[in-house]
Structure 1
């Protein structure tokens, strides 16, 4: 079975991890700060805060701006549930903005229309989480203008987009978002096993994020309520979490970061080859948004089922039977039972629902060979009847 995604680990990565295993530091050591500094530099951001996974990163990003009961967070329904759950962890309310039928990202037109209505109702969001679906940014320049007009905070969920760029600048640079979230899950662009990161240019947010990832504890005398008792002393100044990444993971991430450009370049080659070989099949291929250079975490197609003569499930299972490990990203979040119980229903976000009925994620990872890609395309031709 050719998987839809997988990590690319080489001897340099293994050596980096072994070096940490043989050192004095396994958990909170110098590799973490080195990884954070390198990520900040690579993405032209002022601060980077590494955590145990991207869900934790989303959670503490919301906490850092004091999202809480009575507040609203808006995101896209075409995402993993974590992009919405982070608000619920804080006791806040969640709503969604439908997707653009071409890019499959949160639609800036729909966002503006919803903001106009929300302002009239006195229910504007405190936070908007645009998701860089498949590795391609949303229309972030317009979202920033809307944020300035309506006063919301932008937390870009760029879990798919490490190494991507937008309007000539690295995703994560902070030009269009208050905070940017990255994921280092094994199927993402680079991996730490599990891991995540928040990038920001706001020093006060970075300081709060570091506190929240480590129990709300400080060893900085300037932040204490009384003089230090001695070199052993620390204070818990707020309720935080154990969301720390380990030195082992950070060493792997730093080694992987050295290969980021090569990984992204290969993914772009594969996407271009898919475009070429699938062009004559009854599929809607991914749209490239002007000014956005995708990192190509995913390569998603939509089935033109009226031309194929098979159901969505028949196509999906046919490809799996042929040894192609296709997947589906994503089931619209508002249709999950938890969110239905909050009042969401079918028909609320029709573009996302229509997308779900037709979407298939084809294998995409930097180690995918040209021969494997041709096997995938041949299987698709057989299943689709092309």
Structure 2
């Protein structure tokens, strides 16, 4: 039988267009909205949109989305504004929004038509008034979504709208008119070679508003509206004349192409009546391929399904899996809301072929092949196993592959131990990639130097890792070598790249890296092992793995329930602050400052109270001072309320004394390094702010910031500061996310961390509520509660916990590595 490729590009044959190309040569015009492009726009409006509205040809659909989103969001939208879009769409939608200066806000989809969920759209618009600048719905797989509703949302919420209709050129709405013909906003279509309206490349923007099309036309030509002088933001997005010739040719007979594809779609629907299909609207869809959901039980075997169909000559894909909310770059820079429907759909999605050359019989053949493959795999799954294999026992499982979890691997490289350490190791990470965690999502600078981050890769024993020092990710961090820290958005790519190289080393030496998985809990077995239950996020499938030792590196968070018990100067914080309360983690993440700007937008002279004496408190103050657009902060606008004295870090006693800083005793000096306030002292940007506020060495305090040290439960002034503030930022530190642990009897183990105590002891061992270490369980990372001691250094006066990537990648990480390897040696003996 003839093969059925998933996509068979069928653009006009350039070899047959010689006369038209000669016409372009004769005109001497090759771009700049020339006669061929203008003619195509007019013909497209007539033939595709019944002569309604106006059209604009662009170089590609992504550029079309960029300028349309920028225009709809407001040419001077505020910093931190967001573009609301569905999880189930192509990466170009989010990329275009980000290039237009907006943060992608990704929400769930409807489980029936797979378009953006209406309830989620309206919830976001209600909860974020003024922050969402534009909605970018996707006409999923060419479906005719309800444009009247988006016109209502635009009017109701005062928000811009741009429709991503990349696969919809040729779709007819319920009235039989081209989808988008009368839309009062921009509808953007693709003319890529793989689309139904196949040209080599290109895009089309259509709207019922001709004036809007002319504004967008100027934006495609550098923002020129008359003379060669920019009056609008612009870019070069014009469709070349040669491509316009091909686009004009594609119009000829295009209705017949769409009608044939509609017949193939219907044949699929008739043949796949027992399958989960998209609920559709409109009289005809310009189908690029046929989407179908596998049975839930076969989602874990999707690769096997694809392979079996390929062996039968039937191409298929998995659009869109992973969806936007599962892609690393979007998880770092976007605002990804929970997406259970999109998660489930993406895990089961399969794309079957629809091409210009296919017939109904071809569709029935492909559908029958899919049914046959699914039936065979289902029968295999039903065969009972005659022998229950005993699961292999891993020497170690690291739960959490973020900066702390991969720091263990980096620590092992420092002594050439990673090949040995990796043998049988299992690393479990929720994200699709290891290494980055959430660090790159913070809109602040680090409290570590560029050199600290680079020390993990510079001269590393593994050449693939050492090469990152001079790679683009390493050079981006090195560019901040003389600055007060590194922007964490620059650190994220280096951490991810390092994590991926470390993961490769682990795999090469017999270890396993399970990305897209989460650990639900661990239970102690009678033979002294840990039985860990893992869940695969894409389909919810669970599995249990045995390990001799366990490292919990799941990071920290700021739980809301902690605020309910928090008291400030004897009074409940939630009663003093009410709805004006934010946690520092929300302030410091990307988009946090924009949210604050929205909250304070109606305050002429806002008052802000920041509670806490931690680095996150000082960093929050620094962000409030330097954020753009600047807040209207007057004298004493920000008050930092703290209990402990604010201490700057110094490299030596002599350096402190040289600046006139003498507020320290011998107990404040690290006996190993000679540093003053090695652990308790603020560093880099936070240190600079503290030095200014304390007036050290003649520095002038920032008049916009006031300090208030809370004196006790009777501090009425502290209570008044919080009560009268327009915004209250709680920077009260982090608590470990942890992992539920159970004993041999299956009952939950009571842990010290559950009662607010440190999660680990001085050897990084997880501590029970009774103060005794939990056997073979270790912890590392943010909020673990580790305090350096002995050869690790630190001042005797230090109270609290010490966190830092350098510590994790060196002495602290090696402390765990040594214990795990020693245990493995004992087990082998």
Whether these two folds match at TM > 0.5 is yes
Max radius of gyration: which structure?
A: 2
What do residues 201-231 of structure 1 show as CA deviations (whole Å, max 9, x unaligned)?
334422221222122335x3xxx4xxxxxxx
* Unpaired segments ≥5 residues, structure 2: 377-829
Q: Is the 8 A contact 1:27 1:245 kept in 2?
A: no
CA distance in 1, matches of 2:230, 2:123: 43
Query: Which of 77, 81, 88 lines up with 1:71 in the alignment?
Result: 81
188-197 vs 319-328, greater mean Cα deviation: 319-328
Query: Which of 195, 200, 205 lines up with 2:202 in the alignment?
Result: 195
Q: How far apart are residue 271 of structure 1 and its match? A: 0.7
Q: Which has the higher contact order (CA 8 A, sep 6+)?
A: 1
Q: CA RMSD for the aligned pairs?
A: 2.4
Match of 1:357 in 2: 347
Match of 1:166 in 2: 173
Match of 1:304 in 2: 295
CA distance in 1, matches of 2:64, 2:310: 33
Query: What's the secondary structure of 1:284's corresponding residue?
Result: coil
Match of 1:230 in 2: none
Q: How far apart are residue 51 of structure 1 and its match? A: 0.9
Q: How far apart are residue 292 of structure 1 and its match? A: 5.7
250-259 vs 336-345, greater mean Cα deviation: 336-345
Whether 1:104 aligns to 2:96 is: no
Matches within 5 A, 1:285-304: 285-289=277-281, 291=282, 293-304=284-295
Q: Using a 3 Å threshold, how does the CA distance of structure 1 residues 17 and 285 change in structure 2: closer, same or farther?
A: farther
Q: Is the 8 A contact 2:12 2:246 kept in 1?
A: no
Q: How far apart are residue 256 of structure 1 and its match? A: 1.0
Whether 1:152 aligns to 2:159 is: yes
Whether 1:6 aligns to 2:5 is: no
Q: How far apart are residue 236 of structure 1 and its match? A: 4.0
Matches within 5 A, 1:308-319: 308=298, 311-319=301-309
Matches within 5 A, 1:53-132: 53-65=60-72, 66=74, 68=77, 69-119=79-129, 123=131, 125-132=132-139
CA distance in 2, matches of 1:265, 1:314: 33
Match of 2:357 in 1: 367
Tell me how many residue pairs correspond in the alignment.
363
Match of 2:30 in 1: 27
Q: Is the 8 A contact 2:41 2:56 kept in 1?
A: yes
Q: How far apart are residue 304 of structure 1 and its match? A: 0.9
Query: What's the secondary structure of 1:155's corresponding residue?
Result: strand
Query: What's the secondary structure of 2:124's corresponding residue?
Result: helix
CA distance in 1, matches of 2:68, 2:210: 13
Whether 1:381 aligns to 2:389 is: no
Q: Is the 8 A contact 1:7 1:190 kept in 2?
A: no
Query: What's the secondary structure of 2:278's corresponding residue?
Result: coil
Whether 1:50 aligns to 2:42 is: no
Whether 1:247 aligns to 2:219 is: no
Match of 2:314 in 1: 324
What do residues 60-100 of structure 1 show as CA deviations (whole Å, max 9, x unaligned)?
11222335433221111111111111121122122123111
CA distance in 2, matches of 1:375, 1:265: 20
Q: Using a 3 Å threshold, how does the CA distance of structure 1 residues 293 and 33 change in structure 2: closer, same or farther?
A: same
Q: TM-score, normalised by structure 2?
A: 0.42
Q: Using a 3 Å threshold, how does the CA distance of structure 1 residues 344 and 109 change in structure 2: closer, same or farther?
A: closer
Q: Is the 8 A contact 2:103 2:335 kept in 1?
A: no
CA distance in 1, matches of 2:164, 2:324: 15
68-77 vs 78-87, greater mean Cα deviation: 68-77
CA distance in 1, matches of 2:369, 2:97: 41
Query: What's the secondary structure of 1:49's corresponding residue?
Result: strand
Whether 1:284 aligns to 2:276 is: yes
Match of 1:342 in 2: 333
Q: How far apart are residue 359 of structure 1 and its match? A: 0.4
* Unpaired segments ≥5 residues, structure 1: 225-233
Query: What's the secondary structure of 2:242's corresponding residue?
Result: helix
257-266 vs 19-28, greater mean Cα deviation: 19-28
Match of 2:264 in 1: 270
Q: Using a 3 Å threshold, how does the CA distance of structure 1 residues 344 and 315 change in structure 2: closer, same or farther?
A: farther
CA distance in 2, matches of 1:372, 1:285: 18
Q: Is the 8 A contact 2:104 2:334 kept in 1?
A: no
Q: Using a 3 Å threshold, how does the CA distance of structure 1 residues 276 and 202 change in structure 2: closer, same or farther?
A: closer
Q: How far apart are residue 238 of structure 1 and its match? A: 4.5
What do residues 303-336 of structure 1 show as CA deviations (whole Å, max 9, x unaligned)?
1132x59622221222223322101111211211
Query: What's the secondary structure of 1:235's corresponding residue?
Result: coil
CA distance in 2, matches of 1:133, 1:309: 21
Q: Is the 8 A contact 1:17 1:248 kept in 2?
A: no
CA distance in 2, matches of 1:9, 1:335: 33
Query: What's the secondary structure of 1:166's corresponding residue?
Result: coil
Q: Is the 8 A contact 1:36 1:48 kept in 2?
A: yes
Q: How far apart are residue 200 of structure 1 and its match? A: 2.1
Q: Is the 8 A contact 2:170 2:197 kept in 1?
A: no
Q: Is the 8 A contact 1:8 1:367 kept in 2?
A: no
What do residues 2-25 of structure 1 show as CA deviations (whole Å, max 9, x unaligned)?
2212233466x7534652246324
Q: How far apart are residue 182 of structure 1 and its match? A: 0.8
Q: Using a 3 Å threshold, how does the CA distance of structure 1 residues 97 and 319 change in structure 2: closer, same or farther?
A: same
Q: Is the 8 A contact 2:69 2:97 kept in 1?
A: yes
Q: Is the 8 A contact 2:197 2:254 kept in 1?
A: yes
Q: Using a 3 Å threshold, how does the CA distance of structure 1 residues 200 and 310 change in structure 2: closer, same or farther?
A: closer
Q: Using a 3 Å threshold, how does the CA distance of structure 1 residues 167 and 37 change in structure 2: closer, same or farther?
A: same
166-175 vs 356-365, greater mean Cα deviation: 166-175
Q: Is the 8 A contact 1:45 1:173 kept in 2?
A: yes
